[in-house]
């Protein structure tokens, strides 16, 4: 069977997580997120954020996290601004609209939203009350195409949002990869300070399932649990989420795993660059998008699985390669060998 670089959720969980589940298995715990592990994991996140104001809520997946946060925050006439590549705009089967809210998808070159992008949306929505009111800005870090926000960029967005009374929400499905990238200058603490809400993605970084929603803005915390319940996201055995995040965060396994994924991606990037490839986007996280001709793609496809992402022209396409906490160094060695042989 081919080895898959199609995504970062092909395997189960990091072994330490399964051990933690086994170890605590027969302890009786409160349900619905009131177990000791969930409470301890919340505390770990507050410590890393260096504040005790942020509240943490665990849910099982990213689409769920996005739709709960957004629908809990917005009033019916308010809308979301996102990059057109944003997961909520294009890959969640209309989940946000299903809760009643419009998402404005802005075309960007690199998947990153900038202040002027948001300003452009505001500028064409001044006909009150005939047009929706923009109220929340959604960004992903790292983005759906592997790019990431710098501290300056996030500070600019944060300031812009506060000035325009917009909430800033960061989708952190791959937050670990962003924060351990060699180009990163953001700390988790910065994100707690600069956003109204974000989530720490577990599913794509070693957990079986789980995203930790963090609500930093106290105004948005009130009665948040109702929304989790109403959208069907409050697990009876909330311990399943608490145990995993506790294990991932208690000694920074979370960041180790993400760093490992990034490193393997960078090794592959180097190999592609060495044979003269260009890339769809300049990324330093666990996603790379080398542009190859069809012959090369065919050859690499014999032993490895990946998505052909986008036709570029002249018989070339960008492919998407994703590494993860589970990607083995030896497999990457083998892949590099094959890449090098393309030359």
Kindly identify the residues of this chain, within the stretch 167-226, that bind a second copy according to CB under 8 A.
203-204, 208-209, 223, 225-226
CB of 261 to a second copy, least distance (A): 15
CB of 163 to a second copy, least distance (A): 19
Query: Between vectors from CA 275 to CA 274 and to CA 281, what angle results, nearest 5°?
Result: 75
CB of 132 to a second copy, least distance (A): 4
Q: Which is nearer to a second copy, 223 or 314 (CB)?
A: 223
CB of 95 to a second copy, least distance (A): 5
User: Could you tell me how many residues of this chain bind a second copy (CB under 8 A)?
Assistant: 80
d(CA 221, CA 233) in angstroms, rounded, equals 17
d(CA 54, CA 303) in angstroms, rounded, equals 46
Q: Which is nearer to a second copy, 86 or 192 (CB)?
A: 86
Which of residues 38, 54, 71, 286 is near a second copy by CB under 8 A?
A: 71
Q: Which is nearer to a second copy, 44 or 322 (CB)?
A: 322
The verdict on 302 binding a second copy (CB under 8 A) reads: no
Query: Between vectors from CA 97 to CA 103 and to CA 146, what angle results, nearest 5°?
Result: 50
Spatial contact of 137 and 81, defined as CB atoms under 8 Å apart: yes
Token pair for 143: 């983005």
The verdict on 60 binding a second copy (CB under 8 A) reads: yes
Q: Which is nearer to a second copy, 33 or 146 (CB)?
A: 33
CB of 121 to a second copy, least distance (A): 11
Which of residues 145, 175, 179, 228 is near a second copy by CB under 8 A?
A: 228
The verdict on 231 binding a second copy (CB under 8 A) reads: yes
CB of 40 to a second copy, least distance (A): 16
Reading phi first (left if > 0) and then psi (alpha if -120 to 50, else beta), residue 279 is in beta
Which of residues 26, 52, 219, 313 is near a second copy by CB under 8 A?
A: 26
CB of 239 to a second copy, least distance (A): 7
Question: CB neighbours of 26 closer than 8 A, spacing ≥ 6?
Answer: none
Which of residues 50, 230, 293, 303 is near a second copy by CB under 8 A?
A: 230
Which of residues 297, 321, 326, 339 is near a second copy by CB under 8 A?
A: 326
CB of 220 to a second copy, least distance (A): 11
Query: Between vectors from CA 201 to CA 89 and to CA 7, what angle results, nearest 5°?
Result: 70
- The Cβ of residue 129 has, within 10 Å, a number of other Cβ atoms equal to 7
Within its chain, how far is the Cα of 224 from the centroid? 21
SS3 content of the chain, % helix, strand, coil (to 5): 40, 20, 40
Q: Which is nearer to a second copy, 66 or 316 (CB)?
A: 66
The verdict on 7 binding a second copy (CB under 8 A) reads: yes
Q: What residues from 78 to 137 belong to the interface with a second copy (CB under 8 A)?
A: 79, 90-95, 97-103, 124, 127-133
d(CA 47, CA 60) in angstroms, rounded, equals 22
């Amino acid at each position: 069977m081919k080895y898959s670089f199609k995504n970062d959720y092909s395997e189960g969980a990091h072994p330490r997580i399964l051990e933690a589940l086994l170890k605590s298995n027969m302890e009786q715990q409160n349900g619905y997120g009131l177990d000791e592990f969930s409470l301890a994991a919340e505390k770990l996140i507050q410590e890393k954020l260096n504040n005790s104001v942020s509240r943490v809520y665990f849910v099982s997946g990213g689409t769920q996290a996005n739709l709960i946060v957004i629908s809990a925050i917005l009033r019916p006439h308010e809308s979301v601004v996102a990059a057109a590549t944003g997961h909520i705009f294009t890959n969640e089967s209309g989940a946000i609209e299903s809760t009643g809210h419009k998402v404005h998808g802005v075309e960007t070159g690199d998947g990153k939203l900038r202040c002027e992008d948001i300003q452009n949306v505001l500028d064409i929505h001044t006909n009150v009350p005939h047009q929706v009111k923009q109220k929340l800005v959604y960004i992903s870090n790292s983005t759906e195409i592997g790019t990431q926000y710098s501290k300056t960029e996030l500070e600019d967005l944060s300031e812009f949002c506060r000035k325009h009374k917009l909430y800033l929400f960061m989708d952190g499905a791959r937050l670990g990869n962003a924060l351990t990238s060699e180009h990163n200058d953001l700390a988790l603490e910065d994100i707690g300070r600069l956003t109204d809400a974000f989530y720490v993605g577990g599913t794509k970084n070693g957990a079986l399932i789980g995203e930790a929603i963090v609500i930093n803005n106290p105004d948005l915390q009130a009665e948040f649990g109702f929304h989790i319940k109403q959208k069907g996201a409050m697990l009876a055995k909330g311990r399943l989420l608490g145990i995993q995040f506790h294990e991932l965060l208690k000694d920074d396994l979370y960041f180790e795993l993400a760093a490992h994924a990034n490193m393997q991606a960078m090794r592959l990037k180097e190999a592609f660059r060495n044979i003269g490839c260009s890339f769809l986007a300049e990324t330093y996280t666990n996603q790379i998008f080398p542009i190859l001709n069809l012959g090369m793609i065919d050859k690499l496809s014999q032993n490895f699985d990946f998505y052909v992402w986008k036709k570029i022209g002249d018989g070339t396409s960008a492919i998407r390669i994703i590494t993860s906490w589970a990607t083995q160094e030896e497999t990457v060695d083998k892949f590099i060998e094959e890449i090098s042989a393309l030359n």
